[in-house]
Structures are given as structure tokens and as C-alpha cells.
Structure 1
Amino acid sequence: MTRLHHVPWGRSFRVLWLLQEMGITPDEIIRYRIGAPEMRGAGLMGASPAGRIPALEIDGITVFESAAILQYLCETRPQHGFGRAPGHGERVRYLEALGFAETQASLIEQLNLNHLFLRPPARPSATVVKLNTLRLADTLRALEGMVAGDYLLPSGFSAADAMLGFNLFAAPFYVRMDPYPKLAAYWARLQARPAFQAAAAIEGPQTFYAQDFYPVPVDG
């Protein structure tokens, strides 16, 4: 039994996508809505102690945290070549990319919180939103320089690309992508992968973001 605890078009998309790359479709996908009471229920809390997605039940165990899940899948299914094992010449860059993906995603999470989840009378701080938007742009500028050929690593697609794919789905809602042409081409290549398209078909249209772009709010 393979069961994925999942928020559509959230970080758990990384797991769904890599599973599709490996030819694995979960037997069950339990979908949650951020902020819904079910996220504090025994099902998710039993799989992920902080009640956060993703969590994956597979091979008779449960794994939570995106990077841990992807690394577990790569290590237990090395025939796909999506990991970079100790001793591989790209191992350090691979690990850096996995960590960098979460650094970037934490900024997206903060922008999601301020733009989407604050409810009146609470108001987002324009200063805080501006700072996090600029920091997100800095990570995109760095990522622009990290792309090596078609993918992040010279030898080809890896789990690091799946980790960062979620970020490139979400970042354009907060940062204009015109200054990053390499990232635009990279994102187009990721979306063209059959496994990405299969995962997107499982997801359906995104409903998380209600508008195409969220500018920095104005104080006052």
C-alpha cells in the first residue's frame, strides 16, 4: 500500500511527481486543505508529527518531509538514477540543491501566509512582504546561475529538480520572472516531462492562488 498525504499543488507535489517519474501511482492520495481541521486529525498527525504535508506511507514505513521522502525513494530505487550517491562527483551539488529548495520554499510559505491567509482585521506588513519578496528574488537570481544545461546537474534530471519544481510553480505569483530567462526555459522543460504532466493531471487545475500576481501591499 502506497498512501500519500497531500495538499494539491503544495510541496507534496514534489513527491507525487517523483513517484510518477518512477512509474508509481499511489494506491491512495489523502487530500487536505491548508488550515482545515483534518490537518490536525489523527491520520495526518500520525504520519507527520507536526501535521504538515507531505507524508508518504510506502514499503511498510512512513516518511515525512519532502527531501527525506525523495532521498528515500532514490536510495531504495536506485535503478532510476534520480539520486546522487556518496562518492558521486555531483553529490555535493545535489545535496546543496535539496537544501536550497527548502530555503526558497520557506520564503514562498511566508508570502503565502501574508497574501492569502491573513484575514481582517489582520493586515500584512508591507515592509515584511517587501523584504521576503526581495529575498525570494535573490534566490531566483542564484538559481538562474545554478542551472547546468537542461537541468540542475550536468548529468541530467534528478530528485533535486523535482524539489525545485514546486518553487517555480509558486514563485511567479510573487516575483516577475522576466529577469530570469534560463529559469523560464528550465521550468518549461520540467513541465514538458511526461511524469510532470501525469502528476499535474492527477492534481487538476490549481485553486490555491486566486489571482495571477500578488504585488507588495501598500501601507496606510
Structure 2
Amino acid sequence: MLEPRIQQQFYDTADGLVQAAESLARPVAAAVELLLAAVTGGGKLLVVGTGSAQADALYAAALFMGGAERPRPGLPALTLGADPAVNAALTQAVGGAVADPAAVLARQVHALGLPGDVLVVFEGPAANGVPQALAPLIEAAHDRELSVVLWTAAPREAPLSPSAELLTDIDIHIPVRADRLAQAGALYRLAWLALVDALDLQLLGETE
């Protein structure tokens, strides 16, 4: 029967959301403070999504610029890797068809990142169990004196993403635990919505 299988997707995701409320609240709150310091200090967000998380990056940048549920002036955010023409040109510049996708993104970070900016990375779930290599991207951020907010998605029993080992004490890791792709996407979006809502609270104060 199809209906029980469809319902199970909702049940599993709801269970994941409850668990994430406990595990993600602290790192998301820390990310709010980091992003608040950046935008009030004249900085901006550079937002990247790898693999299936590219859509999450686009959503995150749009929500950051447009706000969650309360009207406010837009906040500066750029989505990297979303323009096919730019990607094609930079791919040729860094190695052609064999270019490392992370190196292509790193080229954009070097060009656009300034001290005080923040790089937000949504790492897509590992393909065939092999994590994506993001070292050039994170190293580029550190070279340009950017802090990094790294979002990773992995099954509950899996080890942490190797990308998390590249972070320093000025960076933040937000590890989403989900056994299915649909759950990971739902958690990414809800956690980012909660982040922007908390940021708006800091900027605008409580609603009357």
C-alpha cells in the first residue's frame, strides 16, 4: 500500500525534528550571533550548497535577504555556484573538465570574500557513502579571514563529516542527523528558518 509508506515519511521526519530541537538549538544560536556580528559590522554572507544542497543554499540566501515572517530591510547575501556561466568560466580557469568543484567555489570565495564576511556551507548528503571534499573551499575562507558556518547531513550513526575537521575555533558546525534525504532537507530548511527568525528577533526586538 502506498499510503502507509507515504505516512511513514512524515512520521520519520517528525521524529527527526523533535531530536534536532535538542541537538541543533545551541549551534544554531551560536550561528545567529556570528551572522549578527557580521551584518551589523558591514559584512555579508557567501552561501554555498554542494550536491543536492544547492537548493538549500538558494533558499537560505533568499530568506536571509528577504526576512522570515517580519518585514525588515534586506541583509546582504550572495549565493556562489548558482550561475552556470560563471561556473563554466571558472571551471576552465582552475583545470577544465577535471577541475575540483570545491576549487571552483574557492575561486569565488577568494574573489568576493572580505574580512568580516561569513561563508555558509550546506554540504549535501554523501554520495554512495563518500563525503564531498570541501577542503579548498574552507581553506579559501580562512585565507580571506572569513568565519565558516558548516551545515552537514549524515545518518544518525555515521561519523562526522571530514569537512568538520577543517574548522577552527572561529567557525561553527551544525550537524544535521537524518537517515533519509527527505529528512535532511526538511531539517536544513527548518533550522535555517529558525536561525533567520532568531536573527530578526535580535535586529527588530520582540513583536508587540
In the superposition, the TM-score normalised over structure 1's length comes to: 0.28
Which has the bigger relative contact order, CA under 8 A and spacing at least 6? 2
Larger strand percent = 2
